[in-house]
Homo-oligomer: A and B are copies of this chain.
Amino acid sequence: MKFTITKSNFLDGLNHVSRVIAPNSLFEILKGIKIELEKDKLILKASDSLVSVEYSVDSFEDDKEVITIEEEGQVVLPSRNFIEIIRKAPTDLIEIETVGNNILVKSGKSEFNVKGYDANDYPEFPVISKENSLKLEANVFNDIIKETVFCTAPNDQRPILEGVNFSLSNKILTATATDSYRLSRRQVTLNDEDSNKEFNLIIPRKALTYFQRMIENGKDQVEIFYENNRIVLYYQNVVYTVLLISGNYPNTNKLIPTVFECTFVANSREFFSAVDRVALMSREDKDDIIKLVVTDNLLEVSSQSKELGSAVEELKVSSTLEDEKFEISVSGKYLKDAVAAVAAEEIIVKFSGELTAFIIQPSDYHREIIELILPVRTY
């Protein structure tokens, strides 16, 4: 293998694929990045065995030569050190040549001879059937991930809760995540062409987090191919192959209350800041308890810590109440996460009882998003 490549293009690819690498992988070779030089492009591959990523660099970019290919071939690079070698290279053009599994890197007067691994020892990525697919705008997919992934359970005893459930039925794509203390659900209505597609998948948090980072500021579309136990995500020059979480995701629809004894509408930023401040007194306690008291168009947010002291703040809201007063205790962190996810100027908070789950939504319902939180019992 022998080629010359523009430093920035090479570095972008290396940095991108290296993100999925598990630095403490059991398999030495999975700490590396496989590069495959074909006749008109360079492909970079990395995997942590659950998420695999493939990144292509075409030899020409808008008629500008990015890679000069002299001899095709493939090798596995030791990722961590190699990326730094490229990053610190003194010139804009980098010459790569392999001699066996050794990689010679030349840049100006700097020469490296880097020990690599045999490309034949690198596992083949699975091939997926292209029968079932769905297209989503990158920015919509980005929103869906951001709005749900924070509610997945960290290292839960039930692995299914470590992923986000994506289900498609009657043109409605529903993404749901819950750690069993709170839940986030976002729905999107798809185009007519997708009207008879159906699926029900659990995508692991880790894969979604990587993918979201890539499409964060993205235009274009994401194309998703799905099978029973895996999906492949295509976006621009990158392909992610993801092993799905197997199992049946719980039916969470029945958890969402529909009858309410108290609601209030508040300015999101004001509510978030008040909770954020008051939580300074609760955040170090295990339950991180914030108390909300709703009276006529007034919300009191407070907390109390034996050790630190207490905090209280009042907010003007628009409330509806069955009784004179409604009180509930809730985790400050969950409250902040939910308000941030709803990302609306005004939110509506709807309570169905002091000990039952309550929901937070945009006050104008302009996005189909529901945040559900279980209160904390304080007695």
> Which A residues have a C-beta under 8 Å from some C-beta of B?
78, 81, 84-85, 88-90, 102-103, 109-115, 273-274, 276-278, 280-281, 307-315
Contact = CB atoms under 8 A, between A and B. Distances in A.
Contact of A84 (B78, B102, B109, B280): B280
Contacts of A89: 277
Contact of A81 (B103, B114, B308, B312): B308
B109 A313 contact: yes
Contacts of A309: 102-103, 112-115
Nearest to A116: B309
Contacts of A90: 273, 277
Contacts of A85: 277, 280, 311
A307 B115 contact: yes
Contacts of A78: 308
21 contacts: A78-B308, A88-B273, A88-B280, A102-B309, A109-B274, A110-B274, A110-B278, A110-B311, A110-B313, A111-B311, A111-B313, A112-B277, A112-B280, A112-B309, A112-B311, A113-B309, A113-B310, A113-B311, A114-B308, A114-B309, A115-B309
Given A102-B309, A112-B281, A112-B309, 16 more contacts: A81-B280, A85-B277, A88-B280, A90-B273, A90-B277, A103-B309, A109-B314, A110-B277, A110-B311, A110-B312, A111-B312, A111-B313, A112-B277, A113-B311, A114-B308, A115-B308
Contacts of A114: 308-309
A90 B271 CA distance: 12
Nearest to A78: B308
Nearest to A284: B81
Nearest to A114: B309
Nearest to A83: B280
Contacts of A278: 110
A315 to B, nearest CB: 7
A118 to B, nearest CB: 15
Contacts of A102: 309
A88 B103 CA distance: 52
A309 B99 CA distance: 13
Contacts of A113: 309-311
A133 B310 CA distance: 47
Residue from A110, A278, A307, A310 having most chain B Cβ neighbours under 10 A: A110
Contacts of A274: 109-110
A81 B280 CA distance: 7
A256 to B, nearest CB: 32
A97 to B, nearest CB: 13
A277 B91 CA distance: 12
Nearest to A109: B314
